[in-house]
Amino acid sequence: MVVVGGGPGGMVLGYLLARAGVRTTVLESHGDFAREFRGDSLHPYTLELFDQLGLADDLLALAHHPARSFRFHTPHGPLTVADYAKVRSRFPYVALMPQSRFLTFLAERAAELPAFDLRTHTRVIDLLRDDAGAVTGVRHRGGEVEARLVVATDGRFSAVRKLADLPAANLGATTDLLWFRLPRLPTDPPDADVDLYFGRDHYLGLLGGTDTWQVGYSLPKGGYQATRAAGLEPIRASVAQQIPWLADRVPALTDFAQTTLLSVDISRVDRWHRPGLLLLGDAAHVISPVGGNGILMAVQDAVAAANRLVPALTSGTLDETVLATIQADREPAIRQVQAQQVRIEQRTARARDRGKPITPPRFLRVVTAIPGVRARAARANAYGPNPPRLTV
């Protein structure tokens, strides 16, 4: 087995396969995981999976911030839309942990498995094929790796997807996000966890961390150059106005080099497989940052794939029917999550085009006041639709 891409989906799949005795090589183009990621959310589903694997306690011994609620801040006041403390789990929160820390931990634990091999600085440049056109491995700049199956988990700009001629259809993202970090102080509001602040032209996303806040500033799709030309002052002013308790730290944002542009995308490949090849995670379906579901969906893809691949690989019955079944297992959940994200994108675009404040629907305040609604919303976000359970 070869897994291309050492992100959450690829590393979890590599660990699960190697744990079951399937010899697996993960190829990662970077030298390590010490770089900036935008996805830092480990949902209760993921923490429960790691508990099942005997890894949760050691993982959560690493520095993280337990987010117990998801709130909207509107002109009419704050609104708690999901209360994770009401989720019936050993882990009633979303653990906000730098993805680099999570991946490094997983790589270290996977290295203890005899069947696992992680190769860094390994960029795939071509696919190996047999005379019938089936994928039989990959070619990288240092050589070739043959495999019974290649799984691409190499992200939204997947090189393997392009090499396999499996195009992704754009579903209609209308927003980009500019991310930056500001210092966290002991005097900051203790109930600030995962928050969205809605303004007239922009919304701000706030993610808690152990020593910093991660702030996302929304832009119209393709609006980065205009934002950069306007300078940092409008961004600083927006943060100071919408999140007043962060105003004293806004001067720390002095250069666009401190920011990272996330071009929001919502897209999906029609067919996730070819003979000898399977796409998973963002390589198959790009999830927007709304709801922080990217890591969750990738991890669930890995679990669903492992459930099917381990029996097929160990019995020698792996064929494209198995790969099609994996897509069938996961695609309904992905479609549901993406449909909700597209609706949010369309609502944001309509408000922006009409010059109206970007706000959530008014009925949401009434609905979330109904007992149990916030708990159900938290559970839906904590586990996603039809979450797969590990069976291998």
* Residue 362 binned pLDDT confidence (cut-offs 50, 70, 90): low
Q: Where are the domains of the chain?
A: 2-63+99-171+265-349, 175-220+223-262
Mean pLDDT of all residues in 61-86: 86
Tens digits of residue pLDDT in 289-319: 877 788 999 999 999 999 999 999 999 999 9
Are the beta carbons of 140 and 122 closer than 8 angstroms? Answer: yes
Q: Do 2-63+99-171+265-349 and 175-220+223-262 show the same overall fold?
A: no
Q: pTM for the full model?
A: 0.93
Are the beta carbons of 127 and 163 closer than 8 angstroms? Answer: yes
pLDDT at 369 over 70: no
pLDDT at 79 over 90: no
pLDDT of residue 367: 65
Q: What is the mean pLDDT of the chain?
A: 91
Mean pLDDT of all residues in 264-276: 95
- Measured CA to CA, the distance from residue 96 to residue 210 in angstroms comes to 9
pLDDT of residue 18: 98
Q: Which of 148-157, 158-167, 192-201, 245-254 has the lowest mean pLDDT?
A: 192-201
- Measured CA to CA, the distance from residue 12 to residue 130 in angstroms comes to 29
* Residue 192 binned pLDDT confidence (cut-offs 50, 70, 90): confident
pLDDT of residue 288: 84
Name the CATH superfamily housing domain 175-220+223-262.
D-Amino Acid Oxidase, subunit A, domain 2 (3.30.9.10)
- For 2-63+99-171+265-349, which CATH class? alpha beta
CA dihedral 268, 207, 103, 51 (to 10 degrees): -100
Residue 103 contacts by C-beta under 8 Å, 6 or more apart in sequence?
6, 7, 8, 11, 33
Mean pLDDT of all residues in 331-340: 94
DSSP assignments along 108-139, one per residue: HHHTTSTTEEEE-S--EEEEEE-TTS-EEEEE
Question: Percent of the chain scored above 70 by pLDDT?
Answer: 93
* Residue 80 binned pLDDT confidence (cut-offs 50, 70, 90): confident
Count CB-CB contacts under 10 A for residue 31. Answer: 10
pLDDT of residue 327: 98
Q: Please report which helix (H) or strand (E) contains residue 338, including its range.
A: helix 320-354
pLDDT at 368 over 80: no
pLDDT at 386 over 80: yes
Q: Please report which helix (H) or strand (E) contains residue 72, including its range.
A: strand 69-74
pLDDT of residue 73: 84
Tens digits of residue pLDDT in 36-66: 656 689 999 999 999 999 999 999 999 999 9
